[in-house]
């Protein structure tokens, strides 16, 4: 399945959601700039991931904080 990208008009993408058979992955393109840094590293230096499995206890406040922080950073080119 193709990722769904999120960004600010004219400023590029700051995050993407990818749905896999066993989990949903949230990708933060400037993830190393977030506090605290999301848990999963990527091949690209700045990108960080959060994998959400069906039975995980999701920290909604933390996810909201990361999305808010990411939305204020420069985005990746569209």
Over the stretch 21-77, which tens digit does the pLDDT of each residue have? Answer: 999 999 999 999 999 999 999 999 999 999 999 999 999 999 999 999 999 999 988
pLDDT attached to residue 78: 66
> pTM, whole model, 2 decimals?
0.92
HSE toward the beta carbon, residue 70, CA cutoff 13 A: 29
* Residue 44 within a domain: yes
- Count CB atoms within 10 A of the CB of residue 3: 13
* pLDDT tens readout for residues 6-17: 998 888 999 999
Q: Which domain holds residue 19?
A: 4-71
* Residue 77 within a domain: no
* Residue 64 within a domain: yes
Would you state the structure tokens that stand for residue 31, as one six-digit string? 């993830």
pLDDT attached to residue 9: 85
């Amino acid at each position: 399945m193709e990722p769904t990208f999120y960004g600010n008009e004219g400023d590029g993408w700051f995050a993407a959601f990818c749905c896999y058979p066993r989990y949903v992955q949230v990708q933060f393109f400037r993830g190393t700039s977030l506090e605290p840094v999301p848990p999963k590293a990527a091949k690209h230096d700045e990108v960080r991931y959060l994998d959400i499995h069906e039975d995980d206890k999701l920290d909604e406040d933390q996810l909201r904080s990361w999305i808010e922080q990411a939305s204020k950073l420069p985005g990746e080119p569209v």
